[in-house]
Chains A and B, each alone.
Chain A
């Protein structure tokens, strides 16, 4: 079945450094790749997404890149701040509408 692998499971960076989280997917028909942020005790919320016909998208300090050939996509956070500390999930949506998530990355930004 469809699968999304996410790495690393934990990531610790100093404030101001960059953070990169990587995901791979198995379903070549996947056409939509969202990233969610989940703060402690709260529900996941969308922070950025990308469609399969786009290679890169940026929104202020966050960016997502997609390599369809390799079935690989990544989240990049620059100039990290303590409020970026959270669990981040990548996901892939297949043509049938099924939304499959990765295992999550716990990001810790140290002041």
Chain B
């Protein structure tokens, strides 16, 4: 079974703090994604990566950055957390960029910025 693990289930951070959300997958997947999930807005893509040190912006990259130094790990960084970044963050991975490659999700990190 593919396992995608996010480092924290719940986080509470203060406005202005630098926040790191970590995601690790154990199936040698090429693609990794970061989404945020808000009621009524679905899953919005923040960033994705198709290889080590490669990244592409998603639909809502402002206020976020990412790091992929190793294939199995994809980190989401909030440079200076703000209250409008309070959300559920979901990491996902898939085998490759091709079709028919299922994306597997982590359990999510509920981030609250106060």
Report the separation of the CA atoms of residues A6 and B40 in the bound assembly, to the nearest whole angstrom: 11
- Give the total number of A-B pairs whose CB atoms are below 8 A apart: 66
Question: Which residues of chain A are within 8 angstroms of B94 by Cβ–Cβ distance?
Answer: 97, 99
Q: Does the CB pair B43–A49 fall under 8 Å?
A: no
Which residues A3-40 have CB closer than 8 A to chain B?
Answer: 6, 9, 31-32, 34
The reply to whether A31 and B99 contact each other, CB–CB distance below 8 Å, is yes
The docked-state distance in angstroms from the alpha carbon of A43 to that of B94 is 15
- Chain A residue nearest to B30 (CB atoms) is A97
Q: Which residues of A sit under 8 angstroms from B35, Cβ to Cβ?
A: 101
User: Assuming the A-B contacts A44-B43, A102-B42, A103-B41, are A97 and B31 also in contact, with contact meaning beta carbons closer than 8 angstroms in the complex?
Assistant: yes
The reply to whether B99 and A93 form a contact with Cβ atoms under 8 Å apart is yes
Contact with B90, one of A43, A102, A103 (Cβ below 8 angstroms): A43
- Smallest beta-carbon distance B60→chain A, Å: 11
Q: What CA separation (Å) do A89 and B107 show in the bound complex?
A: 16
Digitize B89-114: 1 where CB-to-A-CB distance is under 8 Å, 0 elsewhere.
01010101111111101111000000
- Provide the bound-state CA to CA distance between A101 and B40, in Å: 12
Q: How far is the CA of A98 from the CA of B43 in the complex (A)?
A: 13
Q: Do B58 and A44 touch (CB < 8 A)?
A: no
Within 8 A of A (CB), among B3-62: 31, 33, 35, 40-45, 48, 50, 56, 58-59
* Contact surface of B with A, Cβ cutoff 8 Å: 31, 33, 35, 40-45, 48, 50, 56, 58-59, 90, 92, 94, 96-103, 105-108
